[in-house]
Amino acid sequence: MATVYFGLGANLGDRAANLRAACRRLQESGVRIERCSSLYETEPWGVAEQPRYLNAVCRGETALPPRALLALAKDIERDLQRTPTVRYGPRTIDVDILLYDDLRLETRDLTIPHPRLSERPFVLVPLAEIAPDLRLPGSDRSVRELLGEMDTGGVVRVEAPKLDV
């Protein structure tokens, strides 16, 4: 079994319900979700003129190989009505594979660890909540250390139930 971390985000529709539905679908499809972060409201990244996001990170275990996990993530996005728009544009759901064990992989359509993971407070804040001492593959710094080097002022914890599993 591989330990995997997912970044979940939504800024259209019922954002919290979309995050919960994605987490539930992962669990129903071969990923045993072990822990989820709190929900965090964040400013949009990449395209400023869009609604604020809700973000969370989940850790789980799976026997699915990385490409099958990517196909599952895309199926979940499609099932939850994500429609293609501009890059970094608004979406009902985004399911990103952040980490897959200590794997380092780079193909045309899948890069693990997620290529911008260490640059994004909206991912590092919830990741630090559930795995502060985790070291990213190829890095000698923990998630907590990476987070300490950036401005996290735009990431606000939401008083809402976690994505309990």
Between CA 77 and CA 87 the distance in angstroms is 15
Helix, strand, or coil here: 20?
A: helix
Q: Whose structure tokens read 């200590």?
A: 102
Between CA 31 and CA 20 the distance in angstroms is 14
Q: Which residues are catalytic?
A: 82, 91, 94, 96
What tokens were used for 32?
A: 């045993």
Helix, strand and coil in the chain, % to nearest 5: 30, 25, 45
Between CA 140 and CA 51 the distance in angstroms is 35
Bridge partners for 3 per DSSP:
61
Residue 117: DSSP 8-state: G
